[in-house]
């Protein structure tokens, strides 16, 4: 049984204390002296199917930080898969190390052996710090890997599909907040024009939205702004802009105590994971301010839907068609939130948990 808990947990800092608070099924610590591999695989919930989620490689400041990241991210995957109607559980893995310096073929393949030993309970894919090339190395050791290059029969870069789902969620939010899902003439700020943000801007430009962009990288800003006539703004300025929609597509936690009173938008809809710094605080505060929040794990699920499609023999059209359903799901969440008088992120979590619990019962007999 999955229990409803909002994300701000972690009162007990012991390893089992944290695993128990997040309610994980299994957490695997992987170590290999030869290659220097130190990885943690978090399998949060497999009621709906095998746990699927990317492997992140990052120079964590501490092992505790790595554990916290893998627990939080794998839990998020459970909800993302459940709410998107996929028969997948939630999992994620982290490799501790600098992706630029510490990565090697042998390290990735050794890691692949650990994934193999889980016999399909966990299927891995790309994430921050890992690439399709790394997935190829993992594939040499196990079949439990997705997100392979298109040339190898895989689904390739998930970012265009993620951007499409985010766009669908944004349109649904516009419909709810403004009475029409047209984004024509709407002032929209996009924070981070990397893989997803870049494709999102392209979709917004096609609808003649007025686009404002920010990023760390000047060359990326120059490129996107000249291609799509987007106005470049400062990295801090983005929070003070008088816009209709704010779209966080860079980092998590940007809706927080410092920014929330500066935002003038009526809608927040972006691709970043964990946009609300503290769900139980900032979710209700957005409601009070009259800002409609499109739940992140719902509207950024396009990438997962794309990878899921790969498991059944990749079909791009069907991945897009399934991603388009995010529009309807987002409207359902707004309705549930209104009916129950709760914030939208909590409504999305509840809906995901309802599906896991009800399907768990369907599968309770042989
Ligand atoms: P990316 O690294 O390609 O792009 C992120 C961009 O944000 C970069 O250009 C970076 O310079 C910029 N950035 C970083 N910090 C910034 C700041 N403080 N202000 C402004 N810009 C900043 O990543 P991506 O693949 O486009 O993913 C974007 C977000 O969406 C991430 O949070 C990711 O976890 C999430 N997401 C991505 C996918 C996917 O399919 N790629 C799927 C689900 C969720």
Question: Can you give the residue ranges of every domain in the chain?
Answer: 15-72+90-152, 159-301+328-352
Active site residues: 92
Ligand 1: nearest atom to the Cα of 163: 40
Q: Which two tokens stand for residue 212?
A: 């404002």
Predicted confidence (pLDDT) per residue in 97-115, tens digit: 999 999 999 999 999 999 9
Taking the centre of ligand 1 as the mean of its atom positions, its distance from the CA of residue 221, in whole angstroms, is 14
Q: Specify the CATH class of 15-72+90-152 in words.
A: alpha beta
Taking the centre of ligand 1 as the mean of its atom positions, its distance from the CA of residue 215, in whole angstroms, is 9
Q: What pLDDT is recorded for position 2?
A: 52
> Rounded to whole angstroms, how far apart are CA atoms 132 and 110?
17
Ligand 1: nearest atom to the Cα of 197: 26
Q: What pLDDT is recorded for position 281?
A: 97
70 within 8 A of 40, measured Cβ to Cβ? yes
Predicted confidence (pLDDT) per residue in 280-324, tens digit: 999 999 999 999 999 999 999 999 999 999 988 889 999 999 999
Return mean pLDDT, the chain.
94
- Which protein residue's CA is at the shortest distance from atom 27 of ligand 1? 196
Which of 161, 223, 271, 273 has the most ligand 1 atoms within 8 A of CB, as the residue to mutate?
271
Cα distance between the two ends of the chain:
18
Dihedral of CA atoms 40, 88, 77, 74 in degrees, nearest 10, equals: -20
Taking the centre of ligand 1 as the mean of its atom positions, its distance from the CA of residue 80, in whole angstroms, is 18
Q: What pLDDT is recorded for position 123?
A: 98
Residues of the chain with pLDDT under 50: 3-9
307 within 8 A of 158, measured Cβ to Cβ? yes
Taking alpha carbons only, the member of 59, 16, 334 closest to residue 169 is 334
Enter the pTM of the model. Answer: 0.91
Taking the centre of ligand 1 as the mean of its atom positions, its distance from the CA of residue 196, in whole angstroms, is 7
| Fold of the domain spanning 159-301+328-352 | Rossmann fold (3.40.50)
Q: Which residues contact 103 (CB under 8 A, 6 or more apart)?
A: 57, 97, 134
Whether 275 lines ligand 1, by a CB cut-off of 6 Å, is no
Which of 163, 196, 203, 251 has the most ligand 1 atoms within 8 A of CB, as the residue to mutate?
196
- Phi, psi angle pair for 296, to nearest 5°: -60, -50
> Rounded to whole angstroms, how far apart are CA atoms 207 and 178?
16
> Rounded to whole angstroms, how far apart are CA atoms 345 and 282?
10
> Rounded to whole angstroms, how far apart are CA atoms 267 and 178?
9
> Rounded to whole angstroms, how far apart are CA atoms 25 and 17?
13
């Amino acid at each position: 049984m999955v229990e409803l808990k909002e994300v701000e947990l972690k009162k007990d800092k012991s390893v089992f204390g944290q695993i128990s608070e997040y309610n994980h099924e299994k957490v695997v610590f992987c170590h290999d002296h030869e290659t220097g591999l130190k990885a943690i695989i978090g399998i949060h919930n497999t009621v709906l199917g095998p746990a699927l989620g990317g492997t992140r490689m990052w120079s964590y400041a501490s092992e505790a930080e790595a554990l916290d990241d893998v627990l939080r991210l794998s839990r998020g995957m459970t909800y993302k898969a459940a709410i998107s109607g996929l028969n997948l559980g939630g999992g994620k893995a982290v490799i501790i190390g600098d992706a630029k310096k510490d990565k090697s073929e042998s390290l990735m393949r050794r890691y692949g052996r650990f994934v193999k030993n889980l016999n399909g309970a966990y299927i891995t894919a790309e994430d921050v710090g890992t690439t399709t090339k790394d997935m190829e190395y993992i594939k040499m050791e196990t079949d439990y890997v997705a997100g392979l290059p298109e040339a190898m029969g895989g689904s390739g870069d998930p970012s265009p599909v993620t951007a499409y789902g985010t766009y669908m969620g944004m349109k649904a939010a516009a419909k709810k907040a403004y009475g029409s899902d047209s984004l024509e003439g709407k002032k929209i700020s996009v924070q981070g024009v990397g893989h997803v943000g870049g494709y999102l801007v392209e979709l917004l430009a096609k609808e003649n939205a007025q686009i404002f962009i920010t990023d760390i990288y000047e060359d990326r800003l120059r490129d996107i702004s000249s291609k799509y006539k987007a106005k470049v703004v400062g990295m801090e300025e983005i929070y003070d802009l008088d816009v209709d929609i704010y779209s966080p597509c860079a980092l998590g936690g940007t809706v927080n105590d410092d920014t929330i009173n500066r935002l003038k938008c009526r809608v927040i809809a972006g691709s970043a994971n964990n946009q609300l710094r503290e769900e139980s605080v900032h979710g209700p505060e957005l409601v009070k301010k009259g800002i409609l929040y499109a739940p992140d794990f719902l509207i950024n699920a396009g990438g997962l839907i794309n990878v899921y499609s790969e498991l059944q023999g990749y079909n791009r059209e069907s991945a897009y068609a399934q991603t388009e359903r995010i529009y309807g799901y987002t409207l359902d969440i707004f309705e549930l939130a209104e009916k129950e008088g709760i914030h939208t992120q909590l409504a999305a979590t509840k809906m995901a948990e309802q599906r896991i619990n009800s399907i768990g019962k369907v599968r309770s007999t042989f």
